[in-house]
Amino acid sequence: MGTVTRTLVIWCPDWPVLALGHRREVPAAVLVGNRVLAATAAARADGVAAGMRRRDAQARCPQLTVVERDLDREARAFEPVAAVASAFTPWVELSWPGSCAFPTRGPSRYFGGDEALVARVRDAVDEAVPDQAGLVRVGVADGLFAARLAARAGGTRRGVLVEPGTTPAFLAPLPLSVLDRPALVDVLDRLGLRTMGDLAALPAADVLGRFGEEGRHAHRLAIGLDEQPIDARSAPADLSVSTELDPPIERIDQAAFAAKSLADRLSEQLDGAGWSCLRLAVEAETEHGERLLRLWRHDGALTPGAMAERVRWQLEGWLSTSPGRQPTGGLTRLALVPDQVVPARGRQLGFWGGQTEAAARAARAAGRVAALLGPDAVRVVQRRGGRQPGEQFALLAATAVDLVERADATGLPAAAGADAPWPGRLPPPSPSVLWGGSGPRGEGERVAAQVLDADGGGVGVTGRGELTAPPAVLVLDGAAVAGGVRGPRPVVAWAGPWPLQERWWDPAQRRRLARLQLVLDDDSAWLMVLEGGCWWAVATYD
């Protein structure tokens, strides 16, 4: 049936927000893609939850401090915790800053059992990061997946120690949502399967036949096996790559450039040998003989960009830690060793809107620039959906988006809900220019305007959504800020209005407006909004 490795996991709750210096008693949240990734205990007490939109989070907690994620800073702040784990064993494995794991076989024997090991790890972590003393959790179980859940369980006990051989019983009552596979969990729920025990009770062959590889993987986790694929194996030694750095390097950006070149070389060698890397060992040495070895795991195969990113995180933490832990010399050697691989299954290239080699090359180029200039230096447009023009697209860091896997037929990565019907949205095409950038309510910084009828009177919109008179003249207030339009301009064509009423049930966010499209005598096309009795010019069309 397979083997499992007894594993210890160190988990720092709310790490993305705490690593930025926000205390648990202060309402704060970290956003990725305009959605909450992590929040402090004070913010959660006010109703802020992971996955919530920014506007919803701020509505529930008006005093909420909102910041964007900073993975480099998370890595630097997590280095003391990773160093503590490395004092117990060199085989420390990380996926993201905020959690690490290592096999307990050797350390547990040395310290007299799992319980003694857990106590020593907790004390060492509390001493290394006094700001997190009493908060960091430690879990031990058979397998990495179960150990992660054990670290998150236990409430004030700061984790759970699952006795050997009892991992399936520990997992059985847990909800299937712990699999973090919403689509699969939704199907299983409709079939009457609610818990991990329900899934584990099914024959493995039937699960594989009905749900394929994803179902087989979930079933393995439910019965307490390691989450690694059954065809995972150690990589041949000749696939490792290394480089000598002469003169020694002391700057992170220079090391990141060298790491990206190494990652590209390793990826080419793996592709040539027909392998994909699941776990990567990163070795760094200094001119004074200091050495740092860490294992990095990723959900799925590690791409060249993901490899280079993890090298940068590791070096960010090592070179930027406290003076007593910093290396005393510059880096003289970097090595990447594929520690665990699986046979490469290839990639099917699509014809229309599917994956293409050009998209893969663009993703690699973006990854190289981000490795040189930082994770936020390269941004891509993401389709998000919405009723207002400014809500339909957002700029995200390229490192936060899988440019190859998530690109849609437009060539842009799409967020969840982007293709929803969005009743009340303007008919296509969308305006091409939003004036002033992103405004506070989903459009650009609006330009005050007047829409007049043929007699010079103001045009309004009735409660039935009809214009009070045909628009004849557009007057933009201010010094002709938009599109070079100066003075009153005749209206030669118009369409609308399109009334919109949003969130009528929420006094803090309710909104009622009407939108109108105008074509002027110079062939420019405008999107106007009437809200609160005032007209605003918000966008123009090509």
Q: Domain 172-222 has what CATH class?
A: mainly alpha
**Tokens found for residue 73:** 């800073």
What pLDDT sits at residue 239? Answer: 78
Whole-number pLDDT of residue 198 = 92
Q: Which CATH class is domain 237-343?
A: alpha beta
Cβ neighbours of residue 427 closer than 8 Å, sequence gap 6 or more = none
Question: How would you classify residue 247: left for phi > 0, otherwise alpha for psi between -120 and 50, otherwise beta?
Answer: beta
Taking the C-alpha atoms of residue 204 and residue 221, their distance in angstroms, rounded to an integer, is 11
Cα–Cα distance between 323 and 319 in angstroms, integer? 9
Looking at residue 405, its pLDDT comes to: 52
pLDDT at 506: 75
- pLDDT for residue 439: 40
Q: What is the pLDDT of residue 299?
A: 66
CATH number of 21-69: 3.40.1170.60
Of 159, 10, 170, 174, the C-alpha closest to 89 is 10
Domain boundary assignment for the chain: 21-69, 172-222, 237-343, 350-425, 433-541
Q: Is the pTM of this model over 0.85?
A: no
What is the structure's pLDDT at 440?
Answer: 38
Burial 216-241, CB ≥16 within 10 A → b, else e? bbbbbbbbbbbbbbeeeeebeeebbb
Amino acid letter, residue 362: A
Query: From the first residue on, what is the mean pLDDT of each consecutive set of 10 residues in the chain (542 residues)?
Result: 78 87 87 84 89 86 86 83 86 84 89 90 85 82 89 73 90 90 87 91 89 86 74 64 83 79 84 80 84 78 80 77 71 84 60 51 66 67 70 67 52 58 70 56 62 87 86 73 65 86 77 86 84 84 76
In this structure, the number of other CB atoms found within 10 A of the CB of residue 293 comes to: 16
So what's the pLDDT on residue 421? Answer: 67
The reported pLDDT for the residue numbered 175 is 92
